[in-house]
Structure 1
Amino acid sequence: MPTEVEGTHQIGDMSLYTKTWKPDGEPVAKVVFIHGFSDHCNRYYELFPDLAARGIEVYGFDQRGWGRSVHKESEKGLTGPTSLVISDIVSVIKSHLPSTVPLFVMGHSMGGGEALTLASDPLYADLMKDIRGWVLESPFIGFPAGHVPNSVVVFFGRLIGKIAPHKQRWSGLEPTDMSRDPQVVEDIKADKLLHDTGTYEGLAGMLDRTAALNEGKVKLNQGVRSLWLGHGTADEGTSYPASKKWFERQTDLEDKTFKSYEGWSHMLHADLPENRAVFAKDVGDWILARVGPEDVKAKL
């Protein structure tokens, strides 16, 4: 049976909460997972245990400003600028290098957008050779229809962000937009770690990253080898059409897969109970297909 191990990752004076889902035996692959906005790594239901049961070790962490990495009220949503967000993720990835097994990076929602920002950042081009593949779940590449923020609100939000970058702002998402499972909706409402609070600096950075991806202003580093993107057609958290459009622009990448989940909502890993194993299998199959057959034979 997979085991779960809690820990911390230290970056300067910042301690990030971590959790690893370990297979029973030596892993054949490893995933570094990046969670979404107002989320934390313990909210991914069966996904991580299912992957671990197939020999894929999953390393999750609560990003700066979120989950158990928040130690006081003033730290809620305090992510810092995009440069800090990405350097935190790079620090976590590098803590797993060199790796004796293929290393994958997976991101959900905001975390998916952050993964793509990293994969497109020339500053980290040399890191691409160490990452076997990128897995994106409902990445934040665009707002869903009807949820695009008012331009006046955005303008004044950016202005406040320059004057008072650490000023906090409640930016809640409707739990019913996240999953079709009523129990998951209730779980979201009850989880005190989901504080729905960003800072004006952090929110502006997220908007900038999203716009850069959506408008095609950034390009994947040449060292990116493989990419899988899954998105639900009924997503009310991020835009399915924007993801599809972005994916179709990646003509220079040969090994890429786009998977549509018809009628599914934003949290593919926490959609209806009968669908969760389907999503976990899709992700696991794709990862294991990019690991040497002699390593995964016993796990298929």
Structure 2
Amino acid sequence: MTTYSESWLVGPQRTQFYTRTYHPASAPKGVVVFVHGFIEHIARYEHVFPAWSARDIAVFAYDQRGFGRTALDSERKSKNSSYAKTSWKEQLQDLEWAIGHAKREFGSIPLFLYGHSMGGALVLAFPTREHTPPEKETVTGLAGVIATSPLILQAKPAAKAARWIGGKASLLMPSLTIPADVNSQVVTSSSCCSARLTRPSQDISHDEAVGVAYMKDPMVKPVGSLRGISDMLDGGEHLLRTEYTRWPTDLPVLLVHGSDDKVTSAKASELLYQRLPAKDRKLSIYEGGYHELHNEPDGVKEKLIEECIAWVEAHLSPSISPKL
């Protein structure tokens, strides 16, 4: 049974974005803008979002620039869209656009950001940017931010020398794609940007079926662009080192991570939690959890979904606008 509506919407740079909206049966009491992770897409969350709409919280999700159907749909994608062609600057502009769309569609109800992995880092970085009107009002209008398994740092960081070389190469050839083998090192040493960016299928969940489906998914391509990879890794590091200081003190945040995540660093989430100046902040560590907690078996995914929904429900009442 279809629980969502599909739309192709024009975003920044006239890019066609594939989107899904999960509408509650009754009037929504809140709306969540969701941002997915590296080389994945929103169809991988079909088992997650219906739980939100069942609790009268709408969800707006989109395949990011360079990923999913936004990059691969042969009939609807933009002419200049190709797989992995993206950048941190563009992704943050796209998120600004997505928030604006959700506000236009759902009005003045509380709006939350929710991101996973790479998307988790993006929703955390968004409120820390240097904002001027009208972007400043976009941040002050947020009711809260959820980041699951955010890519602040890698679980096993790449060598600094290789990162430096890769960063320089991204300036010369930003759209050049390089292999991201899900069963070994993401980028070989010969590619001058060695880093493990995707994950072996057995690392994403204790449920083997999830890994098998991931490997067979035609919308998951094991490649990344030099600019996209460099920006993604640098963005998380900048957030942890300096940009966290610009977090609005009255903007609530929930950080969730699995302690055994082999892709992104749970310790980095703990450190960011300690540094964020948010008055209302929560860190939730799932002992033994892998990277995709929303796909973990034995009741873990249900626990994760419930925790996130309950946290949003607790923050639905009007609050003081975040101070920038």
Specify if TM > 0.5: yes
Q: Using the alignment, how far apart are the partners of 1:87 and 1:106 within structure 2? A: 16
Aligned to 1:132: 143
Asked whether the equivalents of residues 250 and 280 of structure 2 are also in contact (C-alpha less than 8 Å), the reply is no
Match for residue 306 of structure 2 among 253, 268, 281: 281
Aligned to 1:27: 28
Asked whether the equivalents of residues 146 and 254 of structure 2 are also in contact (C-alpha less than 8 Å), the reply is yes
Aligned to 1:253: 278
Aligned to 2:192: none
Aligned to 1:297: none
One-letter identity of the residue aligned with 1:198: G
One-letter identity of the residue aligned with 1:175: S
Q: Using the alignment, how far apart are the partners of 2:215 and 2:154 within structure 1? A: 22
- C-alpha displacement at 1:42, in angstroms? 1.0
> Is 1:156 the counterpart of 2:165 in the alignment?
yes
SS in structure 1 of the partner of residue 303 of structure 2: helix
Structure 1: which 5+ residue stretches go unaligned?
294-300
Aligned to 1:236: 262
> Is 1:290 the counterpart of 2:315 in the alignment?
yes
SS in structure 2 of the partner of residue 107 of structure 1: strand
Aligned to 2:93: 87
Q: Using the alignment, how far apart are the partners of 2:298 and 2:60 within structure 1? A: 23
Structure 1, 98-107 or 217-226: larger mean CA deviation: 217-226
TM-score under structure 2 length normalisation: 0.84
Structure 1, 235-244 or 159-168: larger mean CA deviation: 159-168
1:243-291 CA deviation, whole Å, 9 max, x = no partner?
A: 00110112x3111111111111111111115221111110010001112
Asked whether the equivalents of residues 116 and 220 of structure 1 are also in contact (C-alpha less than 8 Å), the reply is no
Listed as ranges, the matches of 1:5-154 within 5 Å are 5-11=5-11, 12-71=13-72, 75-79=82-86, 81-97=87-103, 99-123=107-131, 124-144=135-155, 147-154=156-163
- C-alpha displacement at 1:208, in angstroms? 1.3
Distance 1:254 1:69, change over 3 A: same
One-letter identity of the residue aligned with 2:130: P
Listed as ranges, the matches of 1:179-198 within 5 Å are 179-198=205-224
- C-alpha displacement at 1:51, in angstroms? 1.1
Q: Using the alignment, how far apart are the partners of 1:257 and 1:223 within structure 2? A: 13
Asked whether the equivalents of residues 128 and 243 of structure 2 are also in contact (C-alpha less than 8 Å), the reply is no
- C-alpha displacement at 1:21, in angstroms? 1.4
Structure 2: which 5+ residue stretches go unaligned?
75-79, 181-197, 319-324
Greater relative contact order, per chain length (Cα 8 Å cut-off, separation 6+): 1
1:174-203 CA deviation, whole Å, 9 max, x = no partner?
A: 111111111101110110101122111111
Question: What's the Cα RMSD here?
Answer: 1.9
Distance 1:224 1:90, change over 3 A: farther
- C-alpha displacement at 1:152, in angstroms? 3.1
One-letter identity of the residue aligned with 1:113: A
Asked whether the equivalents of residues 128 and 246 of structure 2 are also in contact (C-alpha less than 8 Å), the reply is yes
Asked whether the equivalents of residues 177 and 226 of structure 2 are also in contact (C-alpha less than 8 Å), the reply is yes
TM-score under structure 1 length normalisation: 0.91
- C-alpha displacement at 1:214, in angstroms? 2.7
Match for residue 170 of structure 1 among 174, 179, 192: 179
